[in-house]
Structure 1
Amino acid sequence: MSTAKGAAMEGIPNDLFRGDPQDIERGLDEWVAGLERNAARYEELRQRVDAVRLTATSPSGVVTVTVDANGALLDARFADRVHQTAPDELTHQLLTAIAAAKQRIVAEVREVADQALGEDARESADRIVGYYRERFPDSEEPERPARRGDDEFDGGSIYD
């Protein structure tokens, strides 16, 4: 926090404590309500990420796996023909299926974060997704369109 004169405490609007007491009380109520809305959105995000399940099948179809957003293996199902698969090949098929499921984690977390947090919390969503990208560097994430800055508004229609 800066000690410069007039610097606001982090996250608190500059003019929150100016004006008559009723305005201050209203401002505090609005600020607290905003914090509560943000907390609810982040709790929704946590629940939705906890519910992420990604399933992939090996190239030969001999094994199908499910992982969670942490990459933990939750389930492995083997086809009847597993008995006809050499152990080394089965290991390869299992690991390939797990890798395929994990490759989709970042994209799934991106979708969940964008839905739960919305456009106004894009930086927070980017930080959260960045954490998953570091954990799963081989993941595929679709490109997102660049966000137009407020200074780029040319006054025309957004539908042009």
Structure 2
Amino acid sequence: MFDGRGFDAAEHLVDDWQEGFERRAAQARELATRMAGLSAVGRSPDGLIEVTVGRSGELTGIRLDEETRRQPTATTEREILAAVTAARATLAEKAREAVDGTLGADSETGRAILAGYEAGHDGGR
């Protein structure tokens, strides 16, 4: 029934599959570690406002220069939103770098992760 070659080929195929699985699992662990530590900072065009966003794009910090008291609140509001948008764009770029450094941004899995990630971090656009 088995002539030896078929069994050896099947065994080699299973070994290759296992190696590939273990490699992808290691890449996934590395990516998870990199993504867990992501954050980004954005600044308003005038530099009076600085915000920090966490790995999910959530606002985790905000710094307002005292000079913001001298400007209309509508200006401060616009500049906060601009700083958040800038921070989220930086975060998306860091995510791209993390994916590219592990799975590869051009891999099928990398593209799928980035598509979902960037869709949730586009500043509401």
Relative to the length of structure 2, the TM-score reads 0.76
**Alignment partner, residue 80 of structure 1:** 66
Q: Which has the larger radius of gyration?
A: 1
CA distance in 1, matches of 2:122, 2:60: 21
Q: Which runs of 5+ in 1 are unaligned?
A: 1-17, 140-160
**Alignment partner, residue 114 of structure 2:** 129
Per-residue CA deviations over 1:5-49 (Å, capped at 9, x if unaligned) read xxxxxxxxxxxxx415xx72x654443233122111111111212
Q: CA deviation at 1:128?
A: 0.8
Number of residues of Structure 1 aligned to a counterpart in Structure 2 = 119
The amino acid that maps onto 1:80 is E
With CA pairs under 8 Å and 6+ residues apart, which has the higher RCO, 1 or 2? 2
Overall identity of the aligned pairs, in %: 27
CA distance in 1, matches of 2:68, 2:114: 36
The amino acid that maps onto 1:19 is F
Q: CA deviation at 1:137?
A: 4.3
- Given that 2:84 and 2:123 are in contact with CA atoms closer than 8 Å, whether structure 1 keeps it comes out as no
Question: Which is further off, 104-113 or 43-52?
Answer: 104-113
- Given that 2:49 and 2:62 are in contact with CA atoms closer than 8 Å, whether structure 1 keeps it comes out as yes
Relative to the length of structure 1, the TM-score reads 0.62
Which of 8, 24, 40 is 1:38 aligned to? 24
Does 2:98 align with 1:98? no
The amino acid that maps onto 2:90 is R
Which of 96, 101, 117 is 1:110 aligned to? 96
CA distance in 2, matches of 1:110, 1:45: 11
Q: Which runs of 5+ in 2 are unaligned?
A: 1-5
Would you tell me which structure has more helix in proportion to its own residues?
A: 2
Structure 1 pair 76–111 and aligned structure 2 pair: CA distance change class (3 A): same
